[in-house]
Amino acid sequence: MASSQDRKRPNADEPSDDTPPTKRVKASGPPRSTPPGITPAGWDNLSKIWLTPRALKELDRRNNARASEKSVVVSKAYTARASGKSAAVSKAHTARASRKSAVVGKAHTARASGKSAVVGKAHTARASGKSAVVGKARTARASGKSAVVGKAHTARSSETSAVVDIAHTSLARFARRGGPDLGLLRRYPEPKHAAASMSVRGSSGSSRSQRTRSTQATTVSSRNKRSSAYDNAFEQTLIDHNIYPEGYKYPHQQSTPPEPSNLEGIMQGLSAPRASLSPSRFSQSAFKEFKQANSRVISEGRVMRDIFPTIRGNNASIPNEGNLPFANFESITEGTTVNAVPDFYDGTNPTQISSIVRQDLNKSIIPSSHGHAPLAPNFFLEAKAPRGGADVARRQACLDGAYGARAMHSLQNYGNGEEEEELVYDGNAHTFSTTYHAGTGTLQMYAHHMTAPTVQGERPEYHMTQLRSFSMTDTRDTFIAGATAFRNARDLAQQHRNSFIEAANARASQAKTAAAAAVAAADETAQATQPACDADSVSHVHVHYSALQDADDALQQHVAETSHLDAYDDDGTAIGSLQQHVAETGHLNAYDDDDCIVVGSMPQYLNGEDGSAGNSQQSTAHGADEASQSVASSFTSVSTKRARSKRPRQSASPPSSASKKGHSLH
């Protein structure tokens, strides 16, 4: 198994000592980075919203969305006013031009058709009509313009008043009960992108702002995405999903938080001495080297490469992996938080778990779609650099441990049924998590266990209990104690994991065997419905066969002695000697009463008294005695009745190539 140090993710909040590549390969398709911590729906469903930078960003985003919607309303009002004004002016100009042309046309007609004496009157009428039309046009234009302008102003004032009313209502709602408590913002540094945020608000009429909606996710920069995803809001989300971190105060229970039932045994197991940490194998000089290396780290990646291997030891027998998102797990928070990405975890090889169990518990024990990733994780580590937050590491470990506890619970209850009353909650801790903070050199260890839902139909509860805390850079003795507890915890987790896996595999094997037995029983039942041949029927068949064989031998001998007898067809036509006919037609098979066993053959020309074929299945019901009598009677009829006609018979079986017709003896 490759070491997890080479696969550690870089922390965006800390500088990296690695030289960046000369060219970054662009990934095809959408980015695969971990999404920000809480979705908009998650913010709405929180029972308590903490005043955090991410909460303020979400508030700014929603305010910008509301401002963009208001700008769209005002823009529509101005557009309606401008379009109404231009339409009214155009109509006024059109009316004036049409009236003027009509009057001028009439004047020219009157002048051409009238006499010279009427010319003066025409000019007078034209002048008076023109002046009247011009006056009316100007009046109409002025009145139309004033009406349009009045409507536009009215619409603008009404829209503006509506927007102002909305703003006042929102402000009044925001300021009720004295407004929010801004005490936490005292001495808080001004955001670096405050000017950019104000410019975005100012350009609310842009197309980008118009497309913004309150349901879109909050944009978080890659620099603070990792750390900001595990703030107080994240912890509140865990609590709302019955995942309780260390130190949580239970409101409706006793003051003492529930502890694992096997806590005493765990504590004893953690303190068991280890030969790998004896003074001869880990000396004082080795401790000083560890302490100096810890003081020089500046990034989380360096912690995993230089510090963690000394604490973990060289036990390579336990499958492990690190920096692998748990994307295949069914979200324990209904998708409202980021996927768990532990810095280090222990699991088991995929081949150790039955394929049936893997298929049935896919979303509970398989953390990733990678084929070689360890399954059923129940030991985790979250490491932080000196600038990292210890509270963030604790929240990450809380989520990791919940997934591990659920995996162990699924294996423990495999085959017990899916009903709530059939599930087993033993109250024991089978999952462990640890955090290491390089800034203080502190190693903290936790146990995780599940309890049944307090209300039927609700989610089970996940509890996090602190086991030990060690200052790894204090003295060699404290380091030995911490490393011993860490390595023993890995062994305990492996013991619990292997025990549950073996039990689940055994149940899967038993279920498979039971299914095969059920199939075999079904086949036996189906065969039992078919006709059966017991020992008595087989013996009876042998008796029938012997009698028929003796009769056939006697008949063959008699035919040989009386070869001069002729055989006749049904219509009385001679078809040759009887001996030749027997040789050509062969023998018919005879069956016992149950149609199960072929008991022999008899001549095809042997018929019953009703003329039916000797190989008919119905003829066998008469038994061997009747068959013998039939043979004798047929032989008698051969010697005494040579010319008697016989009706055609109908064979129960298809005719053979040697005998296409029934034959009788006369």
SS3 annotation, 57-71:
HHHHHHHHHHHHHHH
pLDDT at 415 over 70: yes
Q: In terms of Cα–Cα distance, which of 307, 281, 308, 309 is closest to 293?
A: 307
pLDDT of residue 53: 81
pLDDT at 654 over 50: no
Q: What is the pLDDT of residue 175?
A: 77
* Segment 579-587 mean pLDDT: 51
Mean pLDDT (whole number) for 566-590: 49
- Whole-number pLDDT of residue 143: 59
Q: Binning pLDDT at 50, 70 and 90, where does residue 635 land?
A: very low
Confidence band of 210 (pLDDT split at 50, 70, 90)? very low
Q: Would you state the pLDDT for residue 37?
A: 62
User: What is the structure's pLDDT at 57?
Assistant: 82
Contact by Cβ (8 Å): 377, 424: no
**pLDDT tens digits, 112-169:** 455 444 444 545 445 455 555 445 555 556 555 555 545 555 555 565 565 556 666 7
Task: Look at residue 455 and tell me whether its pLDDT is greater than 60.
Answer: yes
pLDDT of residue 191: 67
Q: Which tops the pLDDT comparison, 559 or 83? A: 83
**304-317: per-residue pLDDT in tens?**
999 999 999 988 89
Percent of residues, the chain, with pLDDT higher than 70: 53
Lowest mean pLDDT among 69-83, 383-397, 465-479: 69-83
Average pLDDT rounded to a whole number, residues 88-106:
59
**pLDDT of amino acid 131:** 54
469-492 mean pLDDT: 98
pLDDT at position 644, please?
41
For the chain, what is the mean pLDDT?
Answer: 72
Judged against a pLDDT cut of 80, whether residue 2 lies above it is answered with no
Find the range with the poorest average confidence among 31-35, 172-176, 501-505.
31-35
Mean per-residue pLDDT, 551-562: 65
- Residue 11 confidence (pLDDT) above 90: no
Specify burial of residue 447 (Cβ count, 10 A radius: 0-12, 13-18, 19+): buried
Which pLDDT belongs to residue 135? 56
- Phi first, then psi, for residue 446 (nearest 5°) are -135, 155
For 319-360, the pLDDT digits (tens) are 999 999 999 999 999 999 989 999 999 999 999 999 999 999
247, amino acid identity: G
Q: How far apart are CA 332 and CA 399, in angstroms?
A: 9
> What is the C-alpha to C-alpha distance for residues 550 and 554, in angstroms, rounded to an integer?
6
pLDDT tens string 249-271 = 887 656 677 899 999 999 999 99
Q: b/e per residue, 166-176, with b = 16+ CB within 10 A?
A: eeeeeeeeeee
Q: Which of 344-348, 361-365, 484-488, 601-605 has the lowest mean pLDDT?
A: 601-605
Query: Residue 596's pLDDT is what?
Result: 43
pLDDT at 206: 44
Q: Would you state the pLDDT for residue 321?
A: 97
Q: Which pLDDT score, from 0 to 100, does residue 128 have?
A: 56
User: DSSP strand E in 305-440: where?
Assistant: 320-321, 344-348, 375-384, 431-437
pLDDT reported for residue 174: 77
* Rounded Cα gap, residues 599 and 586, in angstroms: 16
So what's the pLDDT on residue 553? 76
pLDDT band at 23 (very low <50, low <70, confident <90, very high): very low
**Positive or negative: CA dihedral 49, 50, 55, 60:** positive
Q: What percent of the chain has pLDDT over 90?
A: 37
Amino acid 216: pLDDT: 45
Q: What is the pLDDT of residue 530?
A: 65
| Residues whose CB falls within 8 Å of the CB of residue 474, separated by 6 or more in sequence, listed in order | 441
pLDDT band at 192 (very low <50, low <70, confident <90, very high): low
- Residue 304 has a pLDDT of 96
The answer to whether the beta carbons of residues 214 and 40 sit under 8 Å apart is yes
How many CB atoms neighbour CB 469 within 10 A? 13
Give 161 or 629, the one with higher predicted confidence.
161
Q: What is the mean pLDDT of residues 579-586?
A: 52
pLDDT category at 90 given cuts 50, 70, 90 is: low
| Nearest alpha carbon to residue 346 among 325, 370, 368, 318 | 318
Q: What is the pLDDT of residue 79?
A: 67
According to the model, what pLDDT value does residue 281 have?
Answer: 94
Q: Where are the domains of the chain?
A: 53-176, 228-290+325-517, 535-640
Q: List b or e across 102-124, with b for residues whose CB sees 16 or more CB atoms inside 10 angstroms.
A: ebeeebeebbeeeeeeeeeebee
Q: Which amino acid is at 248?
A: Y
pLDDT at 401: 98
What pLDDT, on a 0 to 100 scale, did the predictor assign at position 70?
73
For position 333, what pLDDT does the model report?
Answer: 94
pLDDT of residue 164: 57
